[in-house]
Amino acid sequence: MEAFAAGGRLQRCREAWLGSVSGVRRALLAGEGHGRFLPAAAAAWPNAEFTVVDASAAMLERARRRWDATARPARVAGIVGELPRWQAAAGAFDLIVTHFFLDCFPPGEIGAVIAALAAGATPKARWLVSEFAVPARPRFARWRARAILALAYGFFRVATGLRARQLPDYAPELARHGFVRRDRQSFEWGLLHAEWWERGCADDPARV
Ligand SMILES: C[S@@+](CC[C@H](N)C(=O)[O-])C[C@H]1O[C@@H](n2cnc3c(N)ncnc32)[C@H](O)[C@@H]1O
């Protein structure tokens, strides 16, 4: 997908809110994969500790190598864990990050995955989500997104055994756990978006 979506655009999504979200102390990066977000996050939040959880030991190792290449001091814990079985320690994290991760889950599983992550969030936690989307319009963008996603899901089904067939509707699940969407940026004619969710900010006029 990195190649499909012209490389840097996925990273633009991942980094969209780095300059806006401040005061991060303990961040949980779920399904971090190759680890492209971690060095950027560590630079943006120099006092934060990071916990990276991924079901794949090989991906975690790639993330570790990428991190080691930055020669930054160690404040990263890597955990091989499969959500939703893996459960975060209750209320341990003031930031949850799921970049291109929630799309791995079929509709029947997304609620349990979000519940497992939300259990680890503090009462005022932030949650950054990068995801693919099918825009409502224009029609050309809608068709384009559908075609790209059908190809991508087909490819990953064969290559990795991915069980998901379509993008899950994660927003109601985040809302169920008290998160409110504060802001959203769209890229690539609506194919990609970066969202900033937050708990305990129900009266914030900036929320969408
Ligand atoms: C599509 S990749 C996304 C990687 C990265 N976050 C990014 O921004 O591109 C999904 C990652 O989630 C991991 N993953 C998939 N299912 C998982 C699960 N149930 N629990 C934990 N990690 C999982 C995969 O190993 C992979 O590294």
Residues of the domain holding 143: 8-199
Residue 32 lies in a domain: yes
Q: Which atom of ligand 1 is nearest to the CA of 33?
A: 27
**Number of separate domains in the chain:** 1
* Predicted pLDDT of residue 1: 60
pLDDT of residue 4: 58
Helix (H) or strand (E) holding 180: strand 179-187
pLDDT of the residue at 95 = 98
Which ligand 1 atom is nearest residue 37's CA?
Answer: 8
Residue 207 lies in a domain: no
Ligand 1 closest atom vs CA 32: 6
CA 78 to ligand 1 centroid distance, Å? 13
Other Cβ atoms within 10 Å of 173 Cβ, number = 19
pTM, rounded to two decimals? 0.93
Question: What per-residue confidence (pLDDT) applies to 77?
Answer: 94
CA atoms within 13 A on the CB side of 117: 34
In 70-138, where does DSSP find H-type helix?
A: 107-118
Q: What CATH number has the domain bearing residue 132? A: 3.40.50.150
Residue 108 inside a domain? The answer is: yes
Q: Residue 171: inside a domain, yes or no?
A: yes
Residue owning tokens 């087909």: 154
Contact 67, 39 (CB under 8 A): yes
Tell me which residue of 134, 42, 46 sits closest to 97, measured CA to CA.
42
pLDDT of residue 118: 98
Q: Please work out whether the CB of residue 80 comes within 6 Å of at least one atom of ligand 1.
A: no
pLDDT at 208: 46
- Is residue 118 situated within a structural domain? yes
**Is 19 a domain residue?**
yes
Kindly list the strands in the beta sheet with 93-99, ordered across the sheet, starting from the edge strand earlier in the chain: 76-80, 49-54, 26-30, 93-99, 121-132, 192-199, 179-187
pLDDT value of residue 130: 97
Q: pLDDT 10s per residue in the chain (208 long)?
A: 666 555 688 999 999 999 999 999 999 999 999 999 999 999 999 999 999 999 999 999 999 999 988 877 779 999 999 999 999 999 999 999 999 999 999 999 999 999 999 999 999 999 999 999 999 989 999 999 999 999 999 998 988 888 888 999 999 999 999 999 999 999 999 999 999 999 988 655 444 4
Strands 49-54 and 93-99: unpaired
What's the pLDDT score for residue 203? 55
